[in-house]
Amino acid sequence: MTRLNASAGLLAAGAMLVAGLWARGAEALPLYARQTGQDCASCHTTFFELTPIGRRFKLGGYTLGGGQSTLPPFAVMLQAPTFTHTQTGQPGGAAAHFGVNDNFALQQVSLFTGGRITDNIGAFVQGTLDGVARRVAWDNTDIRYADSVKLGDHDLLWGLTLNNNPTVQDVWNTTPAWSFPFISSVLAPAPTTSTLLEGTLAQRVLGLGAYGFFDDMAYVELSGYRTLSKNSQLLLGVDTTGESPIDGVAPYWRVAVEPTFGKHTIEVGTFGLRADVVPQRLTGAGTDAVTDIGFDAQYQYIGDNNAVTARASWIHESRDLGASHALGLADNAHDSLRSFQISVSYIFGDTWSLTGQRFLTNGTADATLYGTASGSPDTTGWRAEIAYLPFMHGGPAFWPWLNARIGLQYTFYDKFNGSASNFDGLGRNARDNNTVFLYSWIMF
C-alpha cells in the first residue's frame, strides 16, 4: 500500500473514533437506553440479539431519541470473571501467563461511545482491552448516515455505513459478527481455519457502503473494503502477524427480506465477499482470489414475556490459491471451505435464555495451508448454553442502565482440525477440547 493510502486509512480510522467521541448521546448498550429512554428488552431479546425495533434503530443510524439523560455518551463492558475448563489440559498452557487448565480470566474490558451525532448521523464505536493477550485495540466500529423518503405509496429507509468489520453493520443475528455464541472462551482451543468472512478481516479493514430498507421488509446493501496499512493497524492495536491483506477493494453484498406476521418475523437472505489477497504479505507471486457466498435465515417470535429465535447460516468459500501454491504455502492451487451453523434460543420471563447449536466446518484437504496432521480443516460439534439476564427491564435504582448476562456454556466436539482422534499427531483427541465456560458479562 502506498504512503498516501496508508495516511488516508489512518485519517479515516481516526475520524471514526473522533466522531464517536463527539456523539451527544447513544446492542444492549446502556448509552443507547439512556438516549432512547427505553429499557433493553425493547431492542433486544438478550444482548446482543436484536428485536425488530432494535434492527430499525440500527438501520436508522442509532439516532432515535426520547431519553432525558444528561450523562456523557459512554458505556463500559466487562467480561469478568470468566472460568474455562477443558476436558484435558492444554500442554504448555492455555495462553501465555495461564495454566494448562481451570483458568480464571478478565477476558475483555471495552469502552463504548456513539449514538446520535446529528438528526441523520450516529455511531457505534468500541475500544477493547484484551485481558488474555494483554493489548488494547480498536474494536467493532460502525458510523452511519440514514434518512427516510417516500416513493409513491412506499417507504424507503436508506443510509451509508463506514465500518471496520464485514457483517458488523448487519442487523440479523445470522451473519458472523453478531452470530451465536455471543461470547465464548478465548482460553479454549480454537479450530485453525475459518472462512474469510468469519472474523479474519475484523478491525483490519475499512469499508464504505450504501443500503436501503424498502417498506420495512426488503434490504439491499453494497459495500467495498480495503485493508488498512500495516502501520495504521499497529497504531490501532491490531496484531498483523501472518496477515494476508486485500489487494485493492473487496466488494461485499447483502440482500434480505423480512416479512412480519403479528408477533412473528421471518428473514431469508444472502451475503458475500470477493477479495484478492496477498498471502502473508509476500509479493512477487501475485494474489489469491477468495469468494465467500453465504445464505442465512432467521425466525423470531416475541411474546409478552417469552421469545424464540432460530438462526441458520451457510457459507461456501472458493479459494483460488495460485500465489500461495507458488510460494509453497498451499498444496493445492484451488481449495473450497464450507461453514454451517444452526441454533435455537428460548427466552422466558425476559430473564432466562436457553440455546442449543450445531456447528461444522469442512473442506478440501490441504496440509500445508491448514497445518493439520490429516490435512483436513474439518471441525464439527455442538454447543449448549443457559444464561441469566436479571436487568432486561432496568437495573437497580442506583444505576438503572446496568445490564448483565451470567452464563454457563458447554462445547462438545465430534471432530477437531480434521479428526476425531489424534488430530494433532501427538495423541490429542477432539473430545479433549470439550469446554465448560462460565462467565459474567456486565455492561454499565
Q: Cell 440479539 maps to which residue?
A: 49
How many CB atoms are located within 10 Å of the residue 136 CB?
14
pLDDT at site 40 = 74
Q: How far, CA to CA in Å, does 313 sit from each of 166, 264, 316?
A: 15, 19, 10
Work out the average pLDDT over 81-108.
97
User: Please, which pLDDT band fits residue 107 given cuts at 50, 70 and 90?
Assistant: very high
Q: Provide the CB-side half-sphere exposure for 204 (13 A, CA).
A: 20
- The DSSP secondary-structure symbol of 339 reads E
Could you read off the pLDDT of 363-388 as tens digits, one per residue? 999 999 999 999 999 999 999 999 99
pTM score above 0.85: yes
As a whole number of angstroms, the distance between CA 138 and CA 261 comes to: 39
The C-alpha cell that represents 329 in the structure block = 504455502
Question: HSE-up of 389 (CA within 13 Å, CB side)?
Answer: 29
Reading the block at residue 22, the C-alpha cell is: 463527539
Of the chain, the percentage scoring pLDDT greater than 70 comes to: 94
**Span 21-31, mean pLDDT?**
49
Task: Evaluate the CA torsion angle 147, 61, 174, 228 in order and state its sign.
Answer: positive
Query: pLDDT at residue 6 above 60?
Result: no
User: Can you tell me the mean pLDDT for 126-142?
Assistant: 96
Q: Residue 285: how many CB atoms within 10 A of its CB?
A: 16
DSSP code at position 279: G
C-alpha cell of residue 375: 490435512
pLDDT at 268 over 70: yes
At 277, list the grid cell: 489477497
Q: Judge whether residue 21 has pLDDT over 50.
A: no
pLDDT at 20: 37
Question: What domains can be seen in the chain, in order of their start residue?
Answer: 3-443 (2.40.160)
